[in-house]
Structures are given as structure tokens and as C-alpha cells.
Amino acid sequence: MEAARMSVVRRLHWWAELPLIVAVYALYSAGRLLVSNGSTAEAVDNGLAILRFEQDLSLNAEHPLNRLFTSEAWLGIPADFAYASLHYLVTPAVLIWLWKRRSAEYRAMRTWLMLSTVIGLVGFTLVPTCPPRLLDATYGFTDTMAQYGDYGWWSTEASAPEGLGGLTNQYAAMPSLHVGWALWCGVVLWRYGRRTPWLRTLAVAYPLSTTLIVMGTANHYLLDAVAGAAVMGLGLLLARPALRATDALRRRLAPALGPVLAPVREAAGRRFASVRGRFKGRSAPWPGQEASVRDRSARSAIVRRGSADVGAGCQTSARTAYSGEAREAKADDDIPRQHSRAGTAGSTGAGGSTAAGGAAARGAAAEDAEAGGETGRAGAGGEPADAAAPAAH
């Protein structure tokens, strides 16, 4: 499972992520146009309804914070800078860090962020809400962005640079994506960052300080911040089913769309690679070529491992065969040795019998010689007697 997830992540390219950003911004622009073309009275009524609901619950965190930021410039000016910049800097930075350092978790975290953003955009469109700073002054709120506008690049219209306020949705207070995105950054840093005290402190402090800032600058109500956290929770619950559905759809459409999209993907990869190569002062291979090179390298590594395994198996088989042949040769050598030992034993027995027979023959010969001697001696003693007999006659 982990290897499959890593392989999916390796196929992701940064240039393939751009359409997602474009699609989200297109949805945001569509919601802005819908609200702009509609009556702003609905947005003001929704804002006042939230304010009354908080008063019924005895919740009033916005007024004290707004008065503090308005009266203390050393708090109000940094808060306006933070509201106008961190939302657009920290979140992309954490997303890029995930891409580079935690690629296995990038796709799930990006899907969570995108789904939550889309849900927030739906809320902006269906429930346009006027922020506290745009309410009538009789409700007790001061627009700190306008009060400290000379210190920054923003204008009185929004946190966007001066002259670009028309590109933002002025009535996108409910839910607060400033709080939602800050909460997402805190969770990512806490879960996947280094377990150091300062990083853990930053992971907790960033969403909490963002919540205080959006209320102190009169850009959001307390319930907007709560709704932003709820939207992130809903996006987290939908992220895993969305990933499964996306993978199933990709597998189903791959046979049909693969041949059609492959040339487009390869052409786009070449284009981006050539641009990157010009910036780096050298020609860079396009992503498709890099993938093919990686595939060839992987196949070569597999072949080398297979050859090594086969060689090792052959060596093992040779060693086994050699051991068997050695054992058989040793057994064959043992057979003559056994026969030799048996022959030696037989020869030894036969030699003993021959020696015994020789001893017996020598004994018999000795007896015969002794008998012959006695006979000779008897004959020698009788010859005079026989000779004397004729003389006696």
C-alpha cells in the first residue's frame, strides 16, 4: 500500500497541479460575480443576524479586540500586515514543503485543503455575509485596514493591493478561510514537522493568533471563525472518499483517455521543461522523458538483480552438484578400499594357512628324514654280518 501510494505521488508534477489552482480560483471568481450582481442588502442582513445570534449567546469577542487594535497601533498595524499577507504566503509555503519533504502525504493534505476551500466558496456564494468592518459605524466597529492603510499596500476595499479590490469578494465572511487555512497549516506542521518545541508552539500559535487577528481587524465574526474550523473538519472527512473516487475514476477512464491525453501531457511537459532549461541555462528533459529514463533504470536494476539471483542460484547449484559428485567419488573410492582391506585380510588368512601347512610339511619331512637315517644306520650295521656269513661257510 505504501509503495503504491509513493508511486502515485511520484507521477504528480507541479505543472499538473496548476489546473487545480485555476479551477478553485475560477469558482471563487464565479461566487464573487454572483454576489456582486446580487443585492448587498442580503449580505448586510446575514451579518446582522450573526451579530444578534452572538449577542443572544452572550458572545462578544469582536468589540473588545477591535477597540484594542484600533487604539494600539503597535498591535493594529502588524495585525493588518498579517491579515493581508500570511494567508497568501504561509499556506502555499507549507504546501510546497509538503511536496518536497513529505511527498507521500502531499496528495491527501492537498485534497483536504482543496475540498475545504471549495466548501467555503459554496458558503460564500449561498450565504453572502457582510464583515463587521463594513457595517454601519453605529454598530461599534472600526475598519483597521482603512485606518492604517497608509502603512501598507492594501486599500480601504480589502486586503488586496490598492486598485485590485474589485478582484476580491467583500462579502466572503462566512466561513472564515483565514482561520480554516491557518488551522490546516497548524495540523500539518504539528503532524509532519519536526518534533521541536518551537515548531510545535508555532503550529498552535498560528491558528490561534489568526483567529484573534481576523476579529480584531473587524474582518470576521467569532462564528465565522468557528464555521471555518467546521469547514476544515468536513473537508477532512470527505478527503479520503474523494481520493478513492478519484482513483477509481482514473482507472476507468485511463484506457480511453490515456492515448488522447498522452500527447497533450508530453507537449506540456516539454514546454515547461524548455522554459525551466532556459532559466537554468541548460536544456532539461521533459517529464515524460524523465519518467521513461527512470523506468529504463528501474528495469535495468531489476534485470541486474535477476541476473545476480540467477548467478547465485547457479553457483549454489554448482556447489550442490559438486558436493554430490564429491560424495559419490568418495563412495567409489571407499569401495576399492573396502575390497582392498578385505583382500588384505584374506591374504593375511591365506598366508597364515600356508605357513601352518609349510610347518606341517617340514615336520613330516623331518620325520621322514629321521626314519631314513635310522634305516640307513640299520643297513650299515647289517652289511658286515651278511659278508661274514659266506666266510663262515
Does residue 169 belong to any structural domain of this protein?
yes
Check whether residue 219 and residue 174 sit in a common domain. Answer: yes
How far apart are alpha carbons 257 and 252 in whole angstroms? 9
Helices (H) and strands (E) in the chain, counts: 11, 0
Q: Assess contact for 178 and 229: CB atoms under 8 A.
A: no
Domain of residue 320 covers 285-330
Check whether residue 62 and residue 109 sit in a common domain. Answer: yes
Residue 104 has pLDDT above 90, yes or no: no
Task: Give me the pLDDT at residue 4, please.
Answer: 43
Check whether residue 322 and residue 255 sit in a common domain. Answer: no
Does residue 337 belong to any structural domain of this protein?
no
Does residue 390 belong to any structural domain of this protein?
no
Check whether residue 35 and residue 176 sit in a common domain. Answer: yes
Check whether residue 184 and residue 169 sit in a common domain. Answer: yes
Give the pLDDT band of residue 15 (cuts 50, 70, 90): low
Task: Give me the pLDDT at residue 270, please.
Answer: 73
Among 111, 138, 122, 225, which residue's Cα sits nearest to residue 173?
A: 225
Check whether residue 242 and residue 200 sit in a common domain. Answer: yes
List, for residues 173-213, the tens digit of each pLDDT value: 899 999 999 999 999 999 999 889 999 999 999 999 999 99
Question: Count of CB atoms within 10 A of residue 88's CB?
Answer: 12
Check whether residue 139 and residue 162 sit in a common domain. Answer: yes
Check whether residue 262 and residue 291 sit in a common domain. Answer: no
- Looking at per-residue pLDDT, the higher value among 37 and 369 belongs to 37
Give the pLDDT band of residue 224 (cuts 50, 70, 90): very high
Does residue 347 belong to any structural domain of this protein?
no
List, for residues 301-323, the tens digit of each pLDDT value: 665 665 555 455 545 444 444 44
Check whether residue 160 and residue 177 sit in a common domain. Answer: yes
Does residue 372 belong to any structural domain of this protein?
no
Task: Give me the pLDDT at residue 3, please.
Answer: 44
Question: Where among 330, 359, 384 does a domain terminate?
Answer: 330
Check whether residue 210 and residue 315 sit in a common domain. Answer: no
Give the pLDDT band of residue 362 (cuts 50, 70, 90): low
Total domains in the chain come to 2
Q: First vs last Cα of the chain: how many Å apart?
A: 146
Q: Is the peptide bond before 78 cis (omega within 30 degrees of 0)?
A: no
Does residue 355 belong to any structural domain of this protein?
no
How far apart are alpha carbons 177 and 235 in whole angstroms? 12
How many angstroms separate the Cα of 239 from the Cα of each of 24, 110, 179, 235, 296? 16, 9, 19, 6, 34
